[in-house]
Structures are given as C-alpha cells and as structure tokens.
Structure 1
Amino acid sequence: METTINIWIMLFFAFAIQSFILATLFFLKRKGDRIANSIFGVFLLLFSYNQIFNCAYWSNYQGDYVEHLSFTNFIPWVSYGPLLYIYIKRVLKQSPFTWKDARHAIPIVWVFSVFGRFYFLPYDVKLKIAADDTYENYVNWWPIPREYMVYTVTILMIVYVIKIYGLYKKEKVNVTEPQRLWVKSLWLCFTGYTFIFILYMLLIYLRLMTISNDYLIGYGITFFIGIVTYFSFMQPNIFSGTISFPFTKYKNNGLSSSLVTEMKNKLLFLMESDKLFLDNSLTLDVLSEELNLSRHHTSQLINEHFQVNFFEFVNNYRIDEAIELLKDQKNTLNINQIIYAAGFNNRTSFYNAFKKKTGISPKSYRKIHKKTS
C-alpha cells in the first residue's frame, strides 16, 4: 500500500514534534516542582507518540519495523488519565506521593500484562504473527476480550475525567486563581479529548467512519497541545508553578472594600504578632474561624491580596521563622527540631519550601551564615 501524506497529516506531525519539545522543556526546567514538571513531561511525550502513531497509520506508512507499533497506542490511552490526575493533584495539594497513588499505575500494568510479551518479540516474529493472524498465542486477552478492550479504555478515561473534576472542586480553594485557570484548562481539554474519543469509537461501531472522521483523534490531540503551547509561551511561569495571569476579582464576593482592609490587617496581625503559623495543625478552616470568615472568603482574601495560595502563604512565614532560627548563633536546635519549631509537620514540605525560597538546603544555609558571622 502506497504511503500518502496530506496537509492534515503534516500538521498533526508538526504538533507531535511541538509536544515533544514542550515535554523536553518541562523535563529540563530546574525551578519549581520538578516532580510535577516531569510527570507532565511524560504526559506530553505520550501525546507526541500517540500523534506520531496516528500519522503512521493515516499515511499507510509501511517502513521498516512498523510492526513494532502494533498495540502500543494502548500505552498512552491508559496513561493519560492517571498521569494528568497525579499532576493536577500535585499542583493543587502540593503534597508528596503516598502508597495510595500507586493504584493509578494499575491501568498501565494491565496493558503490559496483555501485550507485554508481544511488545518484546523480535521483528521477524511479529511479521509472521501478523501474516498468520495468530496474536492470541502471544497476547493475553484475559480477563477482557479483545473486542471490549477499547471500550474499557474509554470507560477509564471517563472515570478520570470525573476524578479530576472532583479533585479540582475539592481543592481549588487552596490555590490562586491563575493556578485554577491552568488546572481547569487542562481538565476541559482532557474532557474534550475524551468526548472525541467516545465519538470516534461510536462512529466505528455504527460504521459511519470516513477519512475526515478518522482525523477526530488528531484534532483533539492538536487542540490540547495548542492550549499547552499557549500557556507555555504566554505564561512561561507554569514551569515553576507560579502562573501570574492577570485575573478578574471574584464576582459577587460579598466582601466590601472596608471589610477586606479590616480582614487583611487582622490576618497580618494573626500571622506576624500572634504567629499563628507556628501551629503545625493550622488549616484553612482553622484560619477561617480565627477571621470569622467563610473558607471561600478566607481563600479569596489570601489569593487576591497576597497572590499566593493558603499553603504558600503560611509556609512563607514558617520559612522566615526557620531562617531566623538558623541564623541565631545561640540557637542549639538541630534542623529536625527547627522544622517543627517553625510550624512544619513533615520534613519533605519543609525542605521543598526552604529550597524554593532560598535556593539552597537548610544545612548549607546554616553553614554559610556561620562563616559570614
């Protein structure tokens, strides 16, 4: 079959390369949450591969080793939802991974349990399998029959669309409006991609597929890459997690300007005079009670007037406190003791916040200050 290339395939391929470049930028960016950036980098690499796979399919490419591509499209399909969920969870909650997060690896483990043996077969063996149509000897279709695997993938995408939305609704109050815009844009794009995927499979089921319909998946991937590209070039701070979009005030917020000024002053007093941040059990709900405001309005006050989320706001005070303790020559506390004395309740959060603000570790900071004193 002759290879054919048209303007659409060229466009899709160009966006695949663009996605690869963006993924590389996320991998290389040193500032900000490098783990979150790496997760999103993997996500973009899979989008890039998925688009290249599609281009090879649409162009009827029959080059050397093309059989190695067989069934590999399932890898990105089952990985998109889990990767995006873990990335967004990291952005919204800024929390370290736990063993519970390992369950999101189940889909990719499932795919490799089905196709793993086939993936690593020599090329000539794969050619013979394709010619004889003996895939069942090397592919483990149990417990889901071959004809239902794509439907399972579709259900998986829908599940993660719902899970990501639930996570966003629960945690959006803890982040700034620009971060919410970024996360919401990603969720909407993934929801759109899932809808296109469902429509694509429905057209196949109803035997209404045409060459123009066949490009539906490509359109979805291209749009997603385009959105990420826009954010990357218009707001490059997304790589460091500190997006700074100019954003509108909360509508119908119920807070008058005089009340905002009063609450802002009260908040500063609580943090600077009462040092409320030293309580390592401090939460947004607790702070809301101290201010006699709703959780939403407290978050709004911090987001709009300090341009950070609740956790960053509190941790900034805690890091300043830790710095003072590290600089105090009479202080005999070790670093582990300083962590809790400054209000942190775990070592990981402290080290991440400290390095983000100072660029060095607490131990190095203490050594440098002792030398200069």
Structure 2
Amino acid sequence: MIKEWKRDIEARRDETRNYLISGEDTLEVRDDEIQIEVVGAEIPTSPIKTKATRVLPVTATNLVLFPTKQDIVKQFTLNTQQKYAFMIITSHLDGENHAYTGTIDNQLLMCIPGCGGTGKSQLIRAITNPIVCIAQDYIQGKTVDDLRLRQAILELPDNKTEHLPGYLPLVPGMPVLLTENVATELGLSNGTRGIFRQLVYNESPEDVRYQDKNFPLNTKFITQPKYALVEFPGCKLDNKLAELQSKIVPIAISEQTFLFDAKELLPANVAKAAKINKKTTKLTVKRKALPLIPAYSMTTHKSQGQTLGKIIVDLVMPPGPIELASVYVSLSRVKRLDDLLIIRPFEFGTLQVKPSTAQIEELKRLDKIAQ
C-alpha cells in the first residue's frame, strides 16, 4: 500500500506543479503505470482508541500496532489500583480529562503513596514504555556488526548523518519535523512540522536482543520500520489518501550516505600509522531510517520560515561570531509578544549585532535590481 500512496502523492505533486507552471489543472496518468498490491489487515486510526479503520498495508509485512491501554495493562499485569492510576494518567496525557478546557491542558498532580514493593515501579514502567526506531547502517553493503562501531555511528548527531537520526523515540501525538523533501508543492518539505500518529513495522529477532544504556530497560526497539503515519495540518492535500484520514501522510524509509571517521575507535598506534601512511580512517556509511526527528525543540536554522504558537527562546549565544539572523529568526517566529518567553538573562549586545559587509552589499544589490 505504501507504493500506491507514494504514487498518489507524486501524481498530486505533479498536478500542482503543472498548474503552477501552465495554469492547467490536468495530469495524464497511463493505466498501465498503476499497480496496486493488496494484503488485508486492520490499523487503528489512533493507537489509543480501539475502534479500527480498514487500511491496506504494504505487501508481505507483519503489521504490528502500538498497544492500546488495555494491552499495556495486561502486559504489565497491573492490579486494580495500579490500573486506576494508569488510566487517570494516560487519559490526562491524551486530553481526555476534566481539567482540559479548549486548548489549555492543565497540570495533573497525583500522589501515589506506599512503601517499597507496592508496585509503583511497575506502574511507572507501564506509563513510560518507550518505543525507539533504530537506523540500519551498512558499510560496503554489509550491516555493522562491531558493537563499538555501531554504537558510535548511531550516536552521531543528525546534522552529520544527512538528517537521518540513529535513534528515533516515538510517542503517538508527539510533534515531529520532516527532514527531507517529499513533495514541496504540497507543503511536504524539509522542516515541515507534523504530528506522529502511527508506526508500521516488521518484527525482528534484533528487536528483542537490542539493548542500549541510554534508554530504560523496558524500551521496545524497532529495527525494521516500514513507514510512519504522520499528520501534517498545513499540507495541501485537498483530498485524503486512500483509506487514511485527512492530512495523514505515510512517510517511508529514506536512504542516505555519509562519512564517519573511525580514528577515535582505533588503537593509538594504528591511528598513527594510518596518518603516517596517509591512509584514510573515514568510512562510507549507508543509512536507512525514517526521515523524522522529534520537534519538542529545534534549532534556529530549522525554525526559519515557520510560524509557531508559543515558543521558549535562549538568546545566550555559543562562543564565536554572532549571526544577525540567529537572533532575528528566533524572535520573529510568533505573532504576539505574549507567546514569546526568553528562558534566561542574556547580553544586550546580542540584539545590537550589525550586518556584515557582505550582507550590506547584498542588500544594495537587491535594491538596485528592484529599481
């Protein structure tokens, strides 16, 4: 089904592009180019609700869903009191609570008394049962088997891996950023904000064997994701895709290649010998992963061109020259001053950065063209 969705998105993208260029709202599609592969299954439109909608998945894949609340209660064998607390907390997180009014979700304060051994830790594990997608990395066409090398590559920041993260924590309803251009004409481009709704993946023996000290012991690792269903409220898909709700877009696995310097992992004498003999210690890595990153926070660069609801800004700049845009961009993402919070004191000089000579020359050039 992911292939059919992809064709549909590409067709709509081309139709929009043709309309922008020629003004003609038409697109010819050959019948022999349309291929539909179908395997029946059911995917809940929400991982919290049990009501299911019929969805056609990709072929030859085991469809595994996010567990419902009742599934989690059974998995962690919560007793009656634990279940009550679990349902109250998760319902609050889902917006299904009496304190929720309009767009304001008031804070939930809950005290769970009891000495050690009364099951509080089990309740915490049930509530904070994280799911993390692991990128698949290949060197010379083979998976990375060396544990130290694999860990080092996975822990690279996404700005060094062509914006494909090694670890992608996922929680239904969390904000995410798209990190590649899917269909810019439809508002699905690098930096577009969305809301993660659902994940479709294959179960693998690696999921069980994988452990990482950076995550809790009860973390569920996914090593073979197929695609993520993401809601993009601002996208220009006038009609919903087949069997999906409005504004829901399937984001498939992306593939990128980047370099990794393994010098730090080599013994000192080997690294020195490589330098003397002018041998490179850089490895070419091919990564397959979902082109998404969590968007609870973002850099100034990623926020360019976006209008945000409410933001918290840090104006304490890192060492080095201060760019004029780094201040202006962060402060101009909201429409009202009331929606802006500056997190800590900063040097007033940060607001007095003058444009560089190159910037002034560019402004003069643009003014000359405009005349």
More helix by share: 1
Query: Shorter-chain TM-score category?
Result: under 0.3
Greater strand content? 2
TM-score, scaled to structure 1: 0.22
